[in-house]
Amino acid sequence: MKHQIGAALAILAALAILAGLGVAGVSAQQSTNTIDSHLSAAKAAAGFDFSGTLARICIAPQTAPGADVRPPPPPDRATWFTEPAKVFDNLYFVGTKIHSSWALTTSEGIILIDTLYDYASEEAIVGGLKKLGLDPAAVKYVVITHAHGDHVGGAKLMQDRFGARIVMGAPDWDSIEKSVNQYPNGKPKRDIAAADGQKVTLGDASVTLALTPGHTPGTVSIFFQVKDDGRPLTVAYSGGTAFNFVNDVPHFDTYIASQRKMAELAASQNATVLMSNHSEFDNAVTKIKMLAARKAGEPHPFELGREAVQRYFKVMDECAQVARLRLL
Ligand SMILES: [Zn+2]
| 195-251: pLDDT as tens digits | 999 999 999 999 999 999 999 999 999 999 999 999 999 999 999 999 999 999 999
| 128-151: pLDDT as tens digits | 999 999 999 999 999 999 999 999
Distance 227 CA to ligand 1 centre (A): 28
Distance 285 CA to ligand 1 centre (A): 19
pLDDT band for 11, please (50, 70, 90 cuts): very low
Contact between residue 274 and residue 238 where contact means Cβ atoms under 8 Å apart: yes
**Interstrand relation of 85-88 and 220-228 (parallel, antiparallel or unpaired):** unpaired
Distance 56 CA to ligand 1 centre (A): 12
- Report which secondary-structure segment, H or E, holds 321: helix 306-327
Distance 146 CA to ligand 1 centre (A): 6
Listed in order, strand segments (DSSP E) in 138-249 are: 139-143, 165-169, 192-194, 199-202, 205-211, 220-228, 231-238
Contact between residue 141 and residue 202 where contact means Cβ atoms under 8 Å apart: yes
Distance 20 CA to ligand 1 centre (A): 47
Distance 154 CA to ligand 1 centre (A): 15
Distance 193 CA to ligand 1 centre (A): 18
pLDDT band for 43, please (50, 70, 90 cuts): very high
pTM for the whole structure: 0.90
Distance 105 CA to ligand 1 centre (A): 25
State mean pLDDT over 73-99: 98
